[in-house]
Amino acid sequence: MSNDFELSRRKALAALGSIGVASAGAGLGTSAYFSDQETFQNNRLVAGELDLKMDWEEHYSDWSADEDDSPEDGSLDIRMEEPDEADLENYTAYPPGVAEFDGVEGDPYVTGDPLLWIHNDDVEQFMANTSLEAFPDFDDDGLAEFPGIDDFDVPEGTSSDPCEYLADVGENDDGLSPDGFRTDNDDTRDSETGEPLPLINLNDVKPGDFGEVTFSAHICDNDGYLWLNGGLESASENGVTEPEGDDPDEQEGVVELLDTVQTALILPLLIVSVVVTLLALGGTDAVHATVVDAAPELLTLGAPSGLEFGAYVVVAIVGAEMLNQAWWQRVYAASDEGTLRRSFLVAAVAVVPMVFLAGVFGPVAVGLGLVEAPGDASVSFFLVVTEVLPDTAVIAVAVLAVLLVVSSADTLFNAIASVVTVDLPRIVDLSDAGLTAAARAVTVVVAAAATVVGAQGYSVLTLFLLADLLAAATFVPLLYGLYSQRAWSGGVATASATGLVVGLAFFPPARAVLPLSALPAASYFVSFVGAAVVSTGLAAVTARLGNRRYDLDRLDRDVRRLDDDGALADGHGGDRR
C-alpha cells in the first residue's frame, strides 16, 4: 500500500469548504441546544458618550525683577552662565527642553543655548513667580489646585471628582470664564470690559522672553483616544519692529514663515510626484514611445501648432504676471536692487523647471488617451497621476493641488485688501475699522463669485486664458503710463478696452456666445497677440494725439512709504511743499 497521495489546490479548497460548512452546522445545532429565546421591547441600544475635560497651567518669563524673589532668603539661585561641570547636575536649564535642542544650522539667532540655569531647589518657586494663570485655581495665585490632592481650602460644595470640576471643552466653554475656577487676574480678564481673555494672550513679547503652557486632558464616562489637530486660521506680519527691519532679508508685508512653509512643501511634492509618475509609466523611454505612437507631432520642435501655442502662451503669461500683486509686493519690499535681482533669479531657476515638468504631462496624457475633451488638457498632470498611481499617492498629489490653490488665493485676497484700503478712501471717508470691514466684505463677495463659477464645471484652462486675455490687453498700456510723460488715463483706458474687444472677438470660447461668424476663424494666437498689439499701438497713438505731459518727478516728491516721517507728518502720503 502506497503512503503517497495527491492534493491539488482545488481539492484543498473544497475540503476546507466542507469543514467550514460542517463546523457551521455543528455550531448552529449546539447553539440551539444550549440556548433559549427571549425578547425585549421598548428598549434602545445607543453608543456611549465621551466627556472631555481639561486643566492647565501657564507660565511666562519676561525677566521682571520679582521673578527671582524668594520668601525665605530674599532671592533665588538663578545664573545666566552655565555652572561648572561638577555642579551642573544641581541646576535645570531654561527654557525647558532647550538643552536638547541643537538649534538651526547657519542661523546665529536660533540656538540651543539655555538662557538661565536655576538651582533644582528653586525651580518650584521660580515657576510660582512666573505663573500667569491656571485651571482649576481656587485661590487665584496662578497655580492649579486639585480637590482631594492638594492641601487647600476647598470651596463648599465642590466635588473631588475631576469630571465634575474640570473645564468643559466644546460648545460649552465655561472653563474660560474667570467667574468659575479659572484664575481671575489681569491676564485672564479685560481690564476695560471685564470679558474673559484668550488662554494664550501675549503682548509686548521681547527677545529672550520664554514660557510654557501645560494642558492635561481627561476623558470621562468611557475609555477613548485623543488626537490633537491644528490649522492655520490667519497669517499676519503684524508690523515690522526695528530689530526685524534691520534684517537684510526682511520684507514688509510678506509673512516669511508662511512663504517658506509653502515653498518647502510644494517643490518637494511636485518633484516627487513627477518622478514617481514617470517611474510608474515605465520610465522616460516608455513615455516617449507612448507619445510617438499616439501623436508624434507633439514632439516635433518645428511644428506650427506648437510654435503658435508657445507664442500666445508667452504673451498671456507675461501679461498676467506683470499684473500679479505678488511680484509688485516684493519689488516694493526688497531692501535694494541687488536683493531684488537675486530673488527673481532664484525664482526663475525654480519656476522654469516646474513649468517644464508640468507641461510634459500634456503630451503624456494625449499618448495615454486620457484627453477626451478640450477641457481635459488643463488637468493633464492630474489625469495621468490618477491613471497610474495608487489612491494613497493620488491623495498626496491632491495635497499639492490644494497648496497651489491656497497660495494663489492668499495672494489674491491680499491684493483685494490692498486695493480696497488704498483706493476706497478716495471715494468715501471711512475709519480704519470701516476699511477693514469693506475689505473683508469684498473678499467674501469675490470668494463667493469664484465658488459659483467653479461649480459650473468650466474648463480650468479656459478660465485662466480668459483672465490672461484681460491682462494681455492692459499690461503694456499700464507699464507705458509709468514711463511716458505723454500717457494719460483716458488714452490708456481706451487702448486697453479696444485691445480687449479685439481679443474677445477672436477668443475661441467667445464664439459660442457672441454672433461673430462674419469674422475670420477664431484663434488663441490672433486673440492674444492682437489684444497686446492693438492696445500697445493705441496707447502710443493716444499719447501722441493727447499732447499732454506729466511730471514724473512729482511721484518722487509726493509718494512716500507709509513708515516715513514725511508721510506721517502730512497725513496723506506726501510732504508739504
- DSSP string for 138-169: SSSSSS---TTTS-S-PPTT--S-HHHHSEE-
- Using one digit for the tens of pLDDT, what is the confidence trace for 442-464? 888 888 888 888 777 777 778 88
Mean local confidence (pLDDT), 53-70: 84
Least confident of 22-31, 103-112, 210-219, 402-411: 22-31
Cβ-Cβ contacts under 8 Å for 423 (sequence gap 6 or more): none
C-alpha Rg value of the chain to the nearest Å: 35
The per-residue pLDDT for 532 is 93
Whether the Cβ atoms of residue 365 and residue 383 lie closer than 8 Å to each other: yes
Do β-strands 74-75 and 69-70 pair in parallel, antiparallel, or remain unpaired?
Answer: antiparallel
Question: What pLDDT score was predicted for residue 31?
Answer: 38
Q: pLDDT band for position 340 (50/70/90)?
A: confident
Number of domains the chain contains? 2
**Per-residue pLDDT, 165:** 77
Q: Is 424 part of any domain?
A: no
Biggest CA pair distance of the chain = 122
DSSP 8-state assignment for residue 446: H
End-to-end CA distance of the chain: 122
Residue 153 is predicted with a pLDDT of: 64
For residues 496-520, average pLDDT: 85
- For the packed helices 256-280 and 380-388, what is the interaxial angle rounded to 10 degrees? 60
Instruction: For residue 360, tell me if it sits in a domain.
Output: no
Helix H or strand E segment including 10: helix 9-34
Residue with more model confidence, 63 or 248 = 63
Residue 372 lies in a domain: no
Within a 10 A sphere around the Cβ of 50, how many other Cβ atoms?
A: 13
What DSSP character marks residue 252?
A: T
pLDDT of residue 453: 80
Task: Please identify, among 203, 222, 241, the residue that sits at the C-terminal boundary of a domain.
Answer: 222
- Kindly tell me if the per-residue pLDDT of 141 is higher than 50: yes
Q: Tell me, what's the pLDDT at 189?
A: 85
Say if residue 169 is exposed, middle or buried (CB neighbours under 10 Å; 0-12, 13-18, 19+): middle
d(CA 203, CA 213): 16
Return the pLDDT at 571: 40
Task: Calculate the average pLDDT of the chain.
Answer: 74
Q: Is the dihedral of CA 328, 332, 338, 343 positive or negative?
A: negative
How far apart (Å, rounded) are the C-alpha atoms in residues 59 and 212? 5
**Read out DSSP for 479-515?**
HHHHH-SS--HHHHHHHHHHHHHHHHHT-GGGGGTS-
Boundary-marking domain end, from 222, 251, 278: 222
The predicted structure's pLDDT at residue 564 = 53
Is 91 a domain residue?
A: yes
pLDDT at 552 over 50: yes
pLDDT at 576 over 60: no
Model pLDDT for residues 355-399, shown as the tens digit of each residue:
787 778 888 888 888 887 766 777 788 888 888 888 888 887 787
- Strands lying side by side in the sheet with 116-119: 78-79, 116-119, 91-94
Domain C-terminal end among 189, 206, 222? 222
Give the pLDDT of residue 39.
53
pLDDT, position 178: 72
Please give, one letter per residue, the 3-state secondary structure of 211-246. Answer: EEEEEEEEEECCCCCCCCCCCCCCCCCCCCCHHHHC
Residue whose entry in the numeric block shows the C-alpha cell 469543514:
19
Q: Mean pLDDT across the stretch 477-493? A: 87
Q: What is the mean pLDDT of residues 344-350?
A: 81
The Cβ of residue 130 has, within 10 Å, a number of other Cβ atoms equal to: 20
Is residue 304 a part of any domain in this protein?
no
Strands 51-61 and 167-168, by their bridges, are antiparallel
522 burial (CB, 10 Å; 0-12 / 13-18 / 19+) is middle
More confident residue, 572 or 298: 298
Q: Above 80 in pLDDT, residue 133?
A: yes
Residue 285 belongs to some domain of the structure: no
In 20-130, DSSP assigns E strands to: 51-61, 69-70, 74-75, 78-79, 91-94, 116-119
* pLDDT score recorded for residue 16: 36
Residue 62 lies in a domain: yes
Q: Is residue 470 part of a domain?
A: yes
pLDDT value of residue 52 = 80
Pick the more confident residue, 149 or 285: 285
Residues 192-225 have pLDDT tens digits of 888 888 878 777 777 778 888 888 888 887 777 7
d(CA 496, CA 488): 12
Judged against a pLDDT cut of 90, whether residue 536 lies above it is answered with yes
Hey, how many other C-beta atoms are within 10 angstroms of the C-beta on 10?
Answer: 8
> What pLDDT was estimated at residue 26?
38
Identify the residue with better confidence: 296 or 108: 296
What does the pLDDT read at residue 172? Answer: 53
For residue 9, is pLDDT > 50? no
Residue 535: domain span: 458-546
* Structural contact between residues 476 and 535, judged by C-beta atoms closer than 8 angstroms: yes
* SS3 label, residue 373: coil
What 3-state class would DSSP assign to 429? coil
What b-and-e string marks burial along 102-118, b requiring 16 or more CB atoms within 10 Å of the CB?
Answer: eeeeeeeeeeeebebbb
What is the pLDDT, as a whole number, of residue 100? 64
Note the pLDDT tens digit of each residue in 237-295: 544 444 444 555 555 545 555 556 666 666 777 777 778 888 888 888 888 888 888 88
Helix, strand, coil percentages, rounded to 5, for the chain: 55, 10, 40
